[in-house]
Chain A
Amino acid sequence: MGLLSSVFKKNDQQKPADVAKAEITKKEVKPVVDKITVGHVHMSGCTGCLVSLADNYGGLLTILDKYADLVYGLTLADVRHIPKMDVALVEGSVCINDKLSVEEIKQTREKAAIVVAVGGCASYGNITRFCRGGQQNQPQHEAFLPIGDLIKVDVYIPGCAPTPQLIRNVCIMAYLLLKGSPEQKALATNYLKPLMMAAQKGTSACFCDLMTEVIDQGLCMGCGSCAAACPVRAITHEYGKPQGTRDLCIKCGACYNQCPRSWFSFDVVPEYESIMELIDTVMK
């Protein structure tokens, strides 16, 4: 008892000073006051998009440290209802047979200044286009739509899975757009423009877009981008021109959007060296 009391006594004596000290050191020092707020909204997707975001590894921590506060995320933030935020990263398509999903995607549009469809499912329906229901434990959930069929979407990040690098680039550009200098805002606007145009273009994509919008339009020159981008290796080149095994196509839109003849920005791409340097610098 003597020993314990001496410990308590000692603690008691030290307490006021320690607490004050602790309070000072606990105060968070924010290097960037003006972070943007970002949420990850999970619709009907496989979490591959979220894994892609996380696959920025240290880069994700840098983004969360310096540029963005994660205010919502099923697995990453302890928040139940969709809060107000600058950027909503939406993964997955919407099951229109599920009231909660429909409610949440509508709320996302209300609460977020910028809605980003992350990945093939949110952008184009992707593999969920092929759902016919019957899966446990909600067999009646059979109809899935890309989010753009229910709400206005600002930016697409296509791809199955979308690449960690494109998600990172869009996060950085969204930050520069909202918080950057006039020069940075101009760069971010130019960078995001094609991805915004993709969002305006529509909610359907597959290998057929390459046929109807590029090859049939006399624009294909056989560079090979589409085959490189296809996540299911459905595209080969015969005599230098893309051939799609259409039964393999999952309708993710990667081939079409990777193609330099689907869209190409002379404002952005020729500046690749300085933009990649900028991204490297801000990620340090």
Chain B
Amino acid sequence: MGAELGKYKSCVSARSTDKAILAGAQDGGIVTTLFAYALEEGIIDGAIVAGPGDMPWKPRPMIATTYEELMAARGTKYNISPNVSFIKEATRSYGLDKVGIVGTPCQMQAVRKGQLYPIGLRDVSDKIALAVGIFCMENFPYQSIVQLAEDHAAMKLESVKKMEIGKGKFTFMSERGAVVPLPLKVTHKYEQPGCHVCLDYVANLADVSCGSVGSPDGWSTVFVRSKKGDDIWAKSVAAGCFETKAIDSVKPGLELVTKLANEKIGKNQKTVEERKTFGVGKGLRIPYI
């Protein structure tokens, strides 16, 4: 177990047993199913998820307190949903005592920093009941997604049915069945610059983190990390929410996850280093202390 995958108690390949969830899931429907189980069991009172926004494929942070609301937020949008912005609001206006939140690795870092250093997050620390992280190589601004869909994939954004990054391609799939895989070397320049200093690929600080990489199509790789995560994951599996396979029994397995994690961290560590000598005798700020 190398540092690139963070601390974890167990790792499996998993898929939801809920057919309705799988029908609109990105991969194995892990996040939606886990939140649905936690809601049902009272482990969480609600979850901060990336719900539908005011434009096609534009997410908006939303507090889901029902199965239907969770269903509406399924799938990856590949652009920014500031989920952490709702973390105090969830405990105030929404009155949640046990908050679930899903987010990218950087958002998990924000949640944990917020729990240890709650500067403007009064009474939030002990109300984070389940933080689910998703693997993330990089994110895109909304306008980049517009440009990629319309200029590169020649699709109207409202006609896009699914987006997917995998196997070296950013693939756009339309409602009418068109499939346009864009090579990642085309999409790289549209990435959000803030992602290039991120040193976490598999959401090391989540309770449970998941992503498609490492597992077969339609399945997700799941890392169970914290005591809380371990407890909830074990209960949800016992309740029959997930089919699981040992991670070393599936292809491509952890080897690929490790490879991609090292690629991301290596590349971004280089970016961080380069910031120090960015100008002439002057560098850019580095947040890590």
Contact = CB atoms under 8 A, between A and B. Distances in A.
A228 B121 contact: yes
B194 A219 contact: yes
Contact of B86 (A166, A228, A235): A228
A34 interface: no
Interface centre among A197, A239, A266 (most CB of B within 10 A): A239
A260 B120 contact: no
A193 B198 CA distance: 21
Interface residues of A, number: 60
A261 B287 contact: yes
B271 to A, nearest CB: 10
Interface in A220-266: 220-231, 235, 237, 239-242, 252, 254-255, 257-266
A162 B119 contact: yes
Contacts of B82: 222-224, 227, 237, 240, 242
B192 interface: yes
A254 B88 CA distance: 13
A169 interface: yes
Interface string B156-181: 00000000000000000000000000
Interface in B1-40: 6-7
The A interface, classified by DSSP as helix, strand, loop or mixed, is mixed
A221 B120 contact: no
A221 B287 contact: no
Contacts of B61: 224
Contacts of A227: 82, 85
Contacts of B116: 169, 191, 268-269, 272, 275-276
A39 interface: no
B80 A159 contact: no
A225 B192 CA distance: 17
Given A223-B103, A260-B106, A218 B84 contact: no
B289 A194 contact: yes
B110 A260 contact: yes
A163 B125 CA distance: 10
B205 A257 contact: no
A219 B197 contact: yes
B122 A221 contact: no
Contacts of B87: 224, 228
A237 to B, nearest CB: 4
B188 interface: no
Contact of B198 (A158, A169, A221, A222): A221
Interface string A187-221: 00001011101000000000000000110011111
Contacts of B80: 221-222, 237, 239-241
Given A221-B80, A221-B198, A269-B113, A163 B141 contact: no
Contacts of A224: 61, 82-87, 107, 110
A284 to B, nearest CB: 14
A217 B284 contact: yes
B112 interface: yes
B115 interface: yes
Given A258-B119, A273-B226, A264 B194 contact: no
B123 A240 contact: no
B115 A260 contact: no
A254 B287 contact: no
Interface centre among B83, B115, B118 (most CB of A within 10 A): B118
Nearest to B107: A223
Contacts of B113: 225, 258, 260, 264, 269
A165 interface: yes
Contacts of A182: none
B284 A239 contact: no
Contact of B125 (A165, A213, A237): A165
A224 B107 CA distance: 8
B88 to A, nearest CB: 5
Contacts of B114: 225, 228-229, 258
Contact of A218 (B112, B143, B194): B194
Interface string B91-131: 00000000000011011011011111111111101000000
B139 interface: yes
Given A228-B85, A228-B88, A269-B205, A240 B287 contact: no
Contacts of B276: none
Interface in B47-103: 58, 61, 79-89, 103
B142 interface: yes
Interface string A153-166: 00001111111111
B122 A264 contact: no
B182 interface: no
A229 B142 contact: no
Contacts of B118: 163, 165-166
Contacts of B143: 239
Given A222-B194, A229-B121, 5 more contacts: A213-B285, A221-B106, A224-B83, A260-B106, A260-B110
19 contacts: A159-B119, A161-B122, A163-B122, A166-B117, A193-B289, A221-B80, A222-B81, A225-B110, A235-B85, A237-B82, A239-B141, A240-B82, A260-B287, A264-B113, A264-B289, A265-B288, A266-B288, A270-B204, A272-B115
4 closest pairs, A vs B, by CB? Answer: A240-B80, A229-B120, A224-B85, A224-B82
